[in-house]
Amino acid sequence: MSRFDTLFQHLQRTKQGAFVPFVTLCDPSLERSFEIICTLVDNGADALELGFPFSDPLLDGPVIQAANNRALSAGFSTDACFALLERIRARYAEIPISLLLCANLVYAQGLDRFYQRCHTAGVDAVLIADVPLMAAEPFVQSAVKFGIQPVFICPPNADEQTIADVAKHAQGYTYLVSRAGVTSAENQQHASTLDNLIVKLKEHNAPPILQGFGIAKPEQVKEALNSGCRGAISGSAIVKIIERNLDNHAQCLQELGEFVSNMKNATY
């Protein structure tokens, strides 16, 4: 079984949901990023979703765009990210690690080389934000070849066919987007359509559903779980903590630890 499969089985047995934080690798520096990610794991993160810094991110709002810029301005790119991933995997052998990134970063490496590097670094799953299902087959084939689970987004306006296709092709987990637009820590508006999407995804035997976009408070984690999701992903709220503590790394780690602990406690 994959690490994600093992995680969700464990959480089901122990009656927990999953809390998954997102950060951009190498923000604000390689060493600080390593310490930030260790803090996330040590304070209760069930899995990690990590981004590669990129100059033109498509789904990211201003907060995560700024994180991309900080990492790139500091001189860190794909090679540094893979080196950092290897350090994370060496310290945490069991935690599932997923990447969320744009297709250009994959094309720049070549599909097989990119997924091979993911395998070597201990990555479990990859979500490519700007590759639609109709164009995903080469990515899926390459990912599976190297033991990487391809993850897909179910958008809030998905029709029946899209839901069926996401369920058919996704592995590891299904990323359910709470609302249209870019990433943000602003409170998401819970729409009744989300409940219908969750029901339909389950009818099509989709992988466990993690809800993302606008997850910034423990009560939103509880709401996602109560609606039938298996967990929640939070990014912008975490990156905001990093941003406001750029001049005080110790304070940054303390606030991140408290945030993750509170969000994880909401999953019980």
Tokens representing 264? 């994880």
The secondary structure of residue 28, as a DSSP letter, is S
Distance between CA atoms of residues 182 and 213, nearest Å: 8
Contact 232, 186 (CB under 8 A): no
User: In sequence order, what are the beta bridge partners of 177?
Assistant: 212
Q: Give the sign of the dihedral formed by CA 239, CA 245, CA 246, CA 250.
A: negative
Q: Which of 27, 49, 124, 165 is catalytic?
A: 49
Task: Using the CB atoms, write b or e for 172-209: b if 16+ within 10 Å.
Answer: bbbbbbbbeeebbbeebebeeebeebbebbeeeebbbb
Q: H-type helices in the chain, by residue range?
A: 3-13, 30-42, 62-73, 78-91, 103-109, 111-121, 137-145, 160-169, 192-203, 218-226, 236-244, 249-265
The size of the chain, in residues, is 268
Which of 42, 46, 56, 60 does the annotation list as catalytic?
60
Three-class SS of residue 97? strand
Comparing C-alpha atoms, which of 17, 57, 19, 8 is closest to residue 238?
Answer: 19
49 counts as catalytic: yes
Cβ(201)–Cβ(227) below 8 Å:
no
Catalytic residues, by residue number, are 49, 60
